[in-house]
């Protein structure tokens, strides 16, 4: 028996990629066309943004918690949230959650340490890159981190919120990410970069990045798969 994965969705593109990865890559562990049971709840993104724009992370947490309760009622065994930014709210509600959570930045930090990286660049929304979500998890694994400049953070945030979350993918956006990543490599000595917004992997990957990438969306999905199929794999 596999465990039932609950996805607490925020933005459509990131949640969709996480869901798709679980379903498609499940076959590698379970056989043709097989994957664990998956349920997803996504309130309107505007419900989250109303709180985020005010810096009300406790309010963000309550929206996450509402999804958690709905997923618990339909049988989910544990939760993942394919959105890096709102992980800032997880500490406010984790103790009241009806189910345990996998932490996206923890999954990325584990992968970075396993691959032997030492100095990690962080990309994502301005709320994410200004936060301690990744610094805390990377530091716990003995890894250094570098944030983009304020100007770079602002432009990346604009691309994410005005383009990527709407499924708009432009060559100029790719060029911006490549430029920032190249600078992180050349000037900051980074040896890898976190794709710390779950939409960034839709336009950036190892194939077009100057640095090895840590794809937060797929790493979270794969961690969920491992957890959901753990008992099956042991048998």
Tell me: the pLDDT tens digits for 94-130? 999 999 999 999 999 999 999 999 999 999 999 999 9
- pTM listed for this prediction: 0.95
150: tokens are 């304020």
What's the distance, CA 208 to chain centroid?
Answer: 20
Res 87 pLDDT > 70: yes
What is the helix (H) or strand (E) element at residue 7, kind and residue range? strand 5-8
Res 80 pLDDT > 80: yes
Q: Which residue has the higher pLDDT, 234 or 119?
A: 119
Given a contact cutoff of 8 angstroms between Cβ atoms, the answer to whether 193 and 144 are in contact is no
Backbone angles phi, psi at 75, to 5 degrees: 105, 5
Given a contact cutoff of 8 angstroms between Cβ atoms, the answer to whether 198 and 7 are in contact is no
* 130-182 confidence digits (pLDDT tens): 999 999 999 999 999 999 999 999 999 999 999 999 999 999 999 999 999 99
Domains of the chain, first to last: 5-103+219-231 (3.40.50.1860), 105-215 (3.40.50.1860)
What is the predicted pLDDT for the residue at 170? 97
Closest CA to 107 of 229, 218, 228, 234: 218
What is the predicted pLDDT for the residue at 82? 98
Q: Determine the average pLDDT of the residues in 4-11.
A: 97
* 18-53 confidence digits (pLDDT tens): 999 999 999 999 999 999 999 999 999 999 999 999
* 175-231 confidence digits (pLDDT tens): 999 999 999 999 999 999 999 999 999 999 999 999 999 999 999 999 999 999 985
C-alpha dihedral sign at 235, 115, 35, 99:
positive
What is the predicted pLDDT for the residue at 1? 86
Res 233 pLDDT > 70: no
């Amino acid at each position: 028996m596999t465990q039932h994965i609950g996805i607490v969705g925020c933005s459509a593109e990131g949640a969709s990629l996480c869901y798709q990865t679980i379903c498609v890559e499940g076959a590698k562990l379970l056989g043709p066309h097989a994957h664990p049971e998956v349920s997803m709840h996504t309130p309107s993104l505007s419900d989250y943004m109303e709180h985020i724009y005010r810096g009300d992370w406790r309010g963000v947490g309550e929206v996450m918690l509402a999804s958690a309760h709905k997923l618990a009622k339909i049988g989910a065994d544990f939760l993942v949230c394919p959105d890096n930014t709102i992980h800032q709210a997880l500490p406010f509600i984790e103790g009241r959650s009806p189910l345990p959570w996998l932490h996206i930045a923890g999954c990325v930090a584990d992968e970075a340490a396993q691959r032997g990286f030492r100095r990690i660049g962080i990309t994502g929304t301005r709320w994410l890159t200004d936060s301690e979500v990744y610094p805390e998890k990377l530091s716990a694994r003995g890894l250094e981190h570098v944030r983009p400049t304020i100007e770079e953070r602002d432009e990346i945030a604009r691309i994410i919120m005005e383009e990527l979350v709407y499924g708009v993918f432009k060559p100029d956006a790719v060029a911006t990410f490549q430029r920032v990543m190249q600078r992180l490599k050349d000037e900051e000595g980074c040896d890898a970069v976190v794709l710390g917004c779950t939409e960034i992997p839709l336009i950036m990957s190892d194939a077009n990045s100057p640095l090895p990438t840590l794809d937060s969306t797929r790493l979270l999905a794969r961690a969920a798969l491992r957890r959901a199929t753990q008992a099956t794999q042991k048998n």
